[in-house]
Structure 1
């Protein structure tokens, strides 16, 4: 019986991951084409400037972001399994409220600091309003986090795949059309902002329909009183998710801002292209984690600790290892592939891309590690590990970036992330499941 269930679960896992990966692969191809064309059309200076314009609002938003979707997935999975409708709706209401409050707060902060950001980070005072426009798009995008959690919990992975594909097509079409029309940096910013707004609307609509179909009510009808007895636990998980997002902001967002501050838009252009191309790994990691997290959370809730660890070993050897190896092989071929695509003017991006690929391969091999920690309730330990990674980046970048530029910045990220993930992996092996 257990073997039959295992086969069925495995097939469902493959179908779910396949749907998301197909959409992500299509999105990756579209974004790759967009990135190559926009980089060629704008050149390193304007391409880097576009990255700086969008990185500052992203940095501010991530500073406040509570990552409520992670708490939502954990508790929606649990409360859905036990049929507790009131608690399901309460978790949704809490998640949406937190996300919109954070988006509004981030917009106010960007609005207050935009003159400084345009002058000192982007080195172009005239792009101040571009920064404001991009920051404003985070408000409707606030629908995404909890809506994604709702769809994930109910297994609506095909819906997620279609939304992601539609948004990627919309983004690429708008950006290419506007840049071709001569909008340059403004076209890149407006295209990304429009896609963010569309993402929020589509996810919010899909989640609302799913909640009404499953539970017969909309999320705003939920009452926070339903979380009585679990409120402290939920808020504690949410607080640590917020801290995790905050410390994760440093290795993910601060690099572009510091590189722009110390070295200027041109070097940011080389760095951004390499980071964008290597970041295509996220199109694989995202679907894998989205599918495996609810499964691991349910196995943990059922007390199947041995099956939980057996599952992670399968994921590491059968999925993570082959894919991580492919990333390394692809990086080795990048000197032959990249220059013909973007031109020799972007040749300095090649070593940066190869350095990034080391950290990305480690992340891909251990893609299951973060969902495993969260499912076990070890979020405090995970946050502590990410704090150490972030502190290492924060300590090294101000010294390394002015001297070694984009190459040094990428090396710091890749080394600290790889060491951090390997340390957390060793910790998970030695720590008994509960």
Structure 2
């Protein structure tokens, strides 16, 4: 696991640096309003994709590891075939829905009347090629986290270089949206190519001939697990995306740009904990399947404490000097975004400290309880968002995000501790 963690952490650190550099260039080139338009388009497309397309990678990892433990190669191939079909169907549905809704939604979320729908059409093309979830499952099961890391680093560098070119040539919003499309297409194509190559290298051949329907029959509970694992993500990510769209509808692209600046920095801090979540999920699943409970608990404790300390080291110095950093890095037009950014950074510290709870509860088969906790947290977010924005503006949206992550982390911790006591 240490090799996988090293690869994913190094790549995430590299990606975070590249993403902040890309954000710096985008903010300088587009200003708050242009950055807000970019955020609104990306958020709408990801929301539709999130609501329509079920990502099968978590289910494939869980049931694929069980097939590996049994030594059943044919069953593993059937799972992969089922995953590919789910990805293809979901990508088609989400892409079509984005294009059908673009003309209706664009003016209602603050996008320009004359070009807002066209912005959405362009970026939505990438949804028709959504095979990354299957690729993630295959490469993680075979411990090829290095392949995923290389793809992510390559596409990060590509986006950074293209963004720099777009800035220097004055391409405007269209150029930055085109860059997003190119990055998404390249990322998905490379991941899928590496995954299929790894399958063949491991001696798994015949995925095209495999019978996907049989995978449903021979893995009882897979559809329930697929739905619950995705519904949990849908709730979490919806709150993380709907706030941008709601802010656009309630205020304007400039306000969205200020908020998006804070969210992007917050997401980078959260993603520093992402490698841990990615690498420990297969490991936790194996430990739970083998009923090695003390090792399972010890791994959870080490991960939680380590991530909290890392978050504090990275985030606190930034928070103490946030206004100066914003003025220096992103420009004077973003002055006043410091309070928003600090609230969102506090939110990210809370969430990232409990990032291991999600894979732990899935590994323990507590997906139903995980969904309940996320549902309750989403209700907290939804109930607080409008009043908070009404009274505090952009800062209120950030506070709602903080309430969501705080309630989710507390709820998941209580579920985990209760499940652990039941085993003792």
TM-score range relative to shorter protein: over 0.9
Mapped to 2, the partners of 1:247 and 1:321 lie a distance apart of 24
The alpha-carbon deviation at position 122 of structure 1 amounts to 3.0
Mapped to 2, the partners of 1:228 and 1:146 lie a distance apart of 16
1:233 to 221, 225, 230: 221
Match of 1:136 in 2: 125
The alpha-carbon deviation at position 114 of structure 1 amounts to 0.8
The alpha-carbon deviation at position 229 of structure 1 amounts to 4.8
Match of 1:82 in 2: 70
Deviations 1:12-36 (A, max 9, x none): x332211111112111111111101
Mapped to 2, the partners of 1:166 and 1:262 lie a distance apart of 37
Secondary structure of 1:219's partner? Answer: coil
Q: RMSD over aligned Cα, in angstroms?
A: 1.6
Q: TM-score, normalised by structure 1?
A: 0.93
Match of 1:98 in 2: 86
Mapped to 1, the partners of 2:389 and 2:238 lie a distance apart of 14
The alpha-carbon deviation at position 406 of structure 1 amounts to 1.4
Match of 2:200 in 1: 212
Deviates more, 1:260-269 or 1:354-363: 354-363
The alpha-carbon deviation at position 219 of structure 1 amounts to 2.8
Mapped to 2, the partners of 1:210 and 1:391 lie a distance apart of 42
| Residues 16-415 of structure 1 mapped to structure 2, 5 A cutoff | 16-125=4-113, 126-140=115-129, 142-227=130-215, 229-317=217-305, 319-326=306-313, 327-415=315-403
How many aligned residue pairs are there? 420
Mapped to 1, the partners of 2:199 and 2:270 lie a distance apart of 28
Match of 1:6 in 2: none
Secondary structure of 1:183's partner? Answer: coil
Is the 1:66–1:238 Cα contact (8 Å) retained in structure 2? yes
The alpha-carbon deviation at position 404 of structure 1 amounts to 2.2
Relative to structure 1, the CA distance from residue 332 to residue 87 in structure 2 (aligned partners, 3 Å threshold; closer, same or farther) is farther
Unpaired runs of 5+ residues, structure 2, are none
The alpha-carbon deviation at position 182 of structure 1 amounts to 2.1
Relative to structure 1, the CA distance from residue 249 to residue 411 in structure 2 (aligned partners, 3 Å threshold; closer, same or farther) is same
Deviations 1:207-255 (A, max 9, x none): 0011111133153232125436544411110111232232123321100
Mapped to 1, the partners of 2:390 and 2:82 lie a distance apart of 43
Is the 1:175–1:190 Cα contact (8 Å) retained in structure 2? no
Secondary structure of 2:393's partner? Answer: helix
Relative to structure 1, the CA distance from residue 105 to residue 25 in structure 2 (aligned partners, 3 Å threshold; closer, same or farther) is same
Secondary structure of 1:221's partner? Answer: coil
The alpha-carbon deviation at position 337 of structure 1 amounts to 1.8
Deviates more, 1:322-331 or 1:167-176: 322-331
The alpha-carbon deviation at position 354 of structure 1 amounts to 0.4
Mapped to 2, the partners of 1:260 and 1:281 lie a distance apart of 24
Mapped to 2, the partners of 1:82 and 1:281 lie a distance apart of 39
Is the 2:106–2:116 Cα contact (8 Å) retained in structure 1? yes
Mapped to 1, the partners of 2:111 and 2:290 lie a distance apart of 55
Mapped to 2, the partners of 1:64 and 1:328 lie a distance apart of 38
Is the 1:263–1:402 Cα contact (8 Å) retained in structure 2? no
Secondary structure of 2:54's partner? Answer: coil
Deviations 1:357-414 (A, max 9, x none): 1111112211211110011111111111111111111222123224422110010111
Q: TM-score, normalised by structure 2?
A: 0.95
Unpaired runs of 5+ residues, structure 1, are 1-12
